[in-house]
Amino acid sequence: MTETVTVHPLFVRLTHWINAVAIIIMIGSGWHIFNNVPLIDGFHFPRWAVLGGDPELTYKLNKDTGFGNALLWHFAAMWVFFINGTAALIYGFATGRLRRNWLPIRPRDVAHDFREALRFHLAHDDPRIYNAVQKLSYVGVVLAALLVFASGLAIWKPVQFSWLTALFYDFQGARLAHFIGMSLIVLFLLVHVSLALLVPKTLVAMTKGSVRIATPDRPSMQPGE
């Protein structure tokens, strides 16, 4: 037997996909900015993965290697992500959705589910129920986003937010924290997208809002029972 269950309400789905687009834009433009002023000597992101325009073409047109374009994309997406992400968190806290879906996180459950994930034995029968690894990763990516936001403010306005810059030791420390936070978010996205492709019903649930799941067969009633 199967039944149709609602997994994600419309507001959650809208904010999820808006955040997804904003994050991709921020990562691509951020990689372009990184390439213009590398934090790690000798390391550059491939041109096909960055957002901001072809360096040779943009320089020919307006004497800019795309750095200015990347900054515009980065800040535009940043504000979209900040406003949309804040709305999503407020909704999650107000409705109790985050508490129900993300908590509690028990070390024993995380260890168990991590071992099951390595063996590809994690259960995905009901997408409304998150395993411990999912809970930990969702909380972790929110913390990584907060790190990126705080370090980004320190990079953007190092004088106005000098106290924030000091928390990261100095300007270069803020850049390093920003890079680490970005790397954690990219790692989360790789795992998140891979799992969505392996378990298509989770992608359907985040698109349509509902999905059909199997339900245990009820024992047939005998006459007189």
- State yes or no: pLDDT of 224 exceeds 60: no
Torsion of CA 210, 215, 221, 225, to 10 degrees: -90
**Is 6 exposed, middle or buried (CB count within 10 Å of its CB: 0-12, 13-18, 19+)?**
exposed
Q: How far is Cα of residue 112 from the mean position of the Cα atoms in its chain?
A: 24
120 band by pLDDT with thresholds 50, 70 and 90: low
Tokens of 86: 């804040």
Closest C-alpha to 13, from 88, 71, 81: 88
Q: What residue has token string 């913390």?
A: 143
Mean pLDDT for 53-62 is 61
Q: What pLDDT, in 10s, does the model give residues 158-211?
A: 999 899 999 999 999 999 999 999 999 999 999 888 878 877 888 888 888 888
| pLDDT at 82 > cutoff 80 | yes
How far, in whole angstroms, is CA 179 from its chain's centroid? 15
Residues 39, 129: Cα–Cα separation, whole Å: 40
Model pLDDT for residues 134-152, shown as the tens digit of each residue: 889 999 999 999 999 999 9
Stretch 76-82: mean pLDDT, rounded?
A: 94
pLDDT of residue 61: 53
Return d(Cα 106, Cα 95) in angstroms, integer.
23
C-beta neighbour count of 63 within 10 angstroms:
8
Average pLDDT over residues 64-80: 84
Structural domains in the chain plus CATH codes? 2-214 (1.20.950.20)
- Buried/exposed 32-41: b ≥16 CB within 10 Å, e otherwise: bbbbbeeeee
d(CA 70, CA 29): 5
- Give the three-state DSSP class for 143: helix
Q: Find tokens 């996205």 and name the residue.
A: 189
Whether the Cβ atoms of residue 195 and residue 188 lie closer than 8 Å to each other: no
